[in-house]
Amino acid sequence: MFTILAQDEVPALQVLNSNNEWIQATPIKGTFVVNIADSLMRWTNDLFQSTVHRAVNISGKERYSIPLFWGADYDRRIKPLDQCVSPTRPPRYEEIGVQEYIRWRSEQTYNVNRAKVGV
């Protein structure tokens, strides 16, 4: 559902903005970065958006980050929450099981990566 990330002072985390540009997520001492996962985006009917991100360390210094990945139980269902749906904001996703969704998402990632390397 989301990742909580503690960074050190060496900048490397970047996010892809709505203009399709990579921007630096500059570390701020004493704070955490929270990355929304695609599953939480589905639960909130796109009210919260997942962000494409990467780590690019061009500083030449060692960098440390401590991620905590938080997900849902495999037996749960993912569907837009009632409070995130309205007549003007109908559900954008069909209901799916967490385990089924993880499998599907992994296949999407794997197939995309296979295409990039020509496998």
- What is residue 51's predicted lDDT score, i.e. its pLDDT? 87
Tally: H helices and E strands in the chain: 2, 8
Q: What is the mean pLDDT of residues 106-115?
A: 74
Question: Would you kindly state where each structural domain of the chain is located, as residue ranges?
Answer: 2-117
What token pair was written down for 117? Answer: 């390397």
- What is residue 91's predicted lDDT score, i.e. its pLDDT? 97
Under 8 Å between Cβ of 68 and 3: yes
Under 8 Å between Cβ of 2 and 17: no
Q: What is the rounded distance in angstroms from the CA atom of residue 31 to the CA atom of residue 5? A: 9
Mind listing the pLDDT tens digit for each residue in 72-85? Answer: 898 999 999 999 99
For domain 2-117, give the CATH superfamily: B-lactam Antibiotic, Isopenicillin N Synthase; Chain (2.60.120.330)
- What is residue 117's predicted lDDT score, i.e. its pLDDT? 53
Higher pLDDT, 10 or 47: 47
Q: What is the rounded distance in angstroms from the CA atom of residue 31 to the CA atom of residue 43? A: 26
User: Across all residues in the chain, what is the average pLDDT?
Assistant: 89
Q: What is the rounded distance in angstroms from the CA atom of residue 104 to the CA atom of residue 39? A: 12
